[in-house]
Chains A and B, each alone.
Chain A
Amino acid sequence: MEFIKPNTLKELLEIISTITGEKYYFAGGTDINIQIKKDIIRNGKIIFINHIKELNGIKEDENYILIGSTTTFRQIIESKLLNDKLPFFQKSLNNFASPLIQSQATIGGNIANGSPTADVVPLLLVLDGKLELISNSMNRTINLKDFFTGYKKFILKPDEIIKSIFIPQNAENGFDTFYEKIGSRKALSIAKIAVAGLKKVVNNEINEIKIAVGSLNEYPRRLDLIEDYLLNKDLKDIDFKKIRIILKEEITPITDLRSDKDYRFEVCLNLIKKFLLKPDSG
């Protein structure tokens, strides 16, 4: 393995534009360290990015809240700006990993590690999060939901990194919010099923609806078909048998050491029910 420590963002982008072959960006290292220990990563180049100032911090402009990719979960949980503007997002991450891991783990690492269980992704999906991707030759902004293409596969070009995450200023405004993660215990547990949802209900009718799930497919995703079915429906007219049928098409849970696929399916369905029937908090 070879290690590279660029001094600035510019130098980082220049270096990665010339590297061919396997490479990893070492941010908090909470995933990479363990992958090295377990021999999942054996060779390639490791590029340190944690010290690069342009990649860290939380700020806002007129339209967005911007979170640098190496911002840690502790910075997110302690941010005053997020407490003001995105309290649901912030509160939902309170139980991320453990207080110790929160000080080290970064938001960019959580997304780009590509695990189907990554906690931050379903939340960002319902908040219509975007990613700013940057390379030596270009800079583009994409919707997070277009980032993933398969299990641990992304549209990221070989010379591109995630620079920051954008969340629209009013992403939570006026919505009834829901986030539940099911794991084997409270602290330090990897999600078996996670459901995030936002809904706006006026006179019992669903005016806006966003639902995203984690740990149920190759990557976390929005449930477009369920959303289509629910939009403009009266809460009384929701047919949960119908939802069960649509959900069968939309998620492909797996059986692994942590859970069986039928269990995952039923729990997901129950969480969606709980979200839809939850009284409007606003």
Chain B
Amino acid sequence: MKVNFNLNNKKVSIDVDPMKRLLDILREDFGLLGTKEGCGEGECGACTVLMDGKPVTSCLVNACHLEGKTILTVEAIAKEPIGKLLIDCFDETNAVQCGFCFPGFLVSSYYFLISDGEQNLDKIKEALSGNICRCTGYQKIFESVMLACKKKQLYSHRFSLIHPVR
């Protein structure tokens, strides 16, 4: 099956099995290794990407879903101003241990910052409830996203120009 979609702001086209998972397409066909496979069953969020601006588990998205869609992976998000801000905050609070879950948390946190961004712990927990971390116990992850929300507000003039908040 031939599919055309937009990947990290570039038009791409591939010929693949209609059931091939987006996760495998990213890793095998495009060499984007930031997106990880944990459970392969939608439970852990290590494979999170944005599809048409919404967070999805790429292990449950198939080639047949992709026609005309826009996919943003952690590689592109890490270069966005808000992505960079989040990485700095994760760094500052020492929120990452082994790092396996981190790409998924980054994508879910990024979505939270651009879609809502309120410095509200309950909302942040809810937004990250599809992502599992086996190392940290979550508190530091929540702290770093809280910090990112605060910084985003403080420096909103820097971000609003580059990434209009929806």
Q: Which residues of A are interface residues toward B (Cβ below 8 A)? A: 3, 5, 26, 28-30, 33-34, 36-37, 46, 48, 50-51, 74, 97-101, 103-104, 186-188
Contacts and interface: CB of A to CB of B under 8 A. Distances in A.
B40 A100 contact: no
A153 to B, nearest CB: 25
B97 to A, nearest CB: 21
Contact of B127 (A36, A99, A101, A186): A99
Interface in B50-75: 51, 54-57, 59-62, 64-65, 67
B41 A100 contact: no
7 contacts: A34-B42, A36-B19, A99-B111, A99-B126, A100-B42, A103-B56, A188-B129
B65 A103 contact: no
Nearest to A28: B60
Contacts of B1: 3, 5
B129 A30 contact: no
Interface of B: 1, 18-19, 21, 40-43, 45, 48, 51, 54-57, 59-62, 64-65, 67, 108, 111, 126-127, 129-131
The 5 closest A-B pairs by CB, nearest first: A98-B130, A187-B129, A100-B130, A103-B54, A103-B56
B165 to A, nearest CB: 16
Contact of A100 (B19, B64, B65, B108): B108
Contact of A33 (B45, B48, B60, B129): B60
Contacts of A186: 129
Given A3-B64, A30-B42, A50-B64, A100 B18 contact: no
Nearest to A38: B41
Nearest to B128: A99
B130 A187 contact: yes
A99 B84 CA distance: 23
A50 B19 contact: no
A26 to B, nearest CB: 7
B41 A34 contact: yes
Nearest to A30: B60
Contacts of A3: 1, 18-19, 64
Given A5-B18, A104-B57, A37 B65 contact: no
Nearest to B40: A37
A29 B65 contact: yes
B42 A48 contact: no
For A29, A34, A100, A104, the residue with the greatest tally of chain B CB atoms inside 10 Å of its CB is: A100
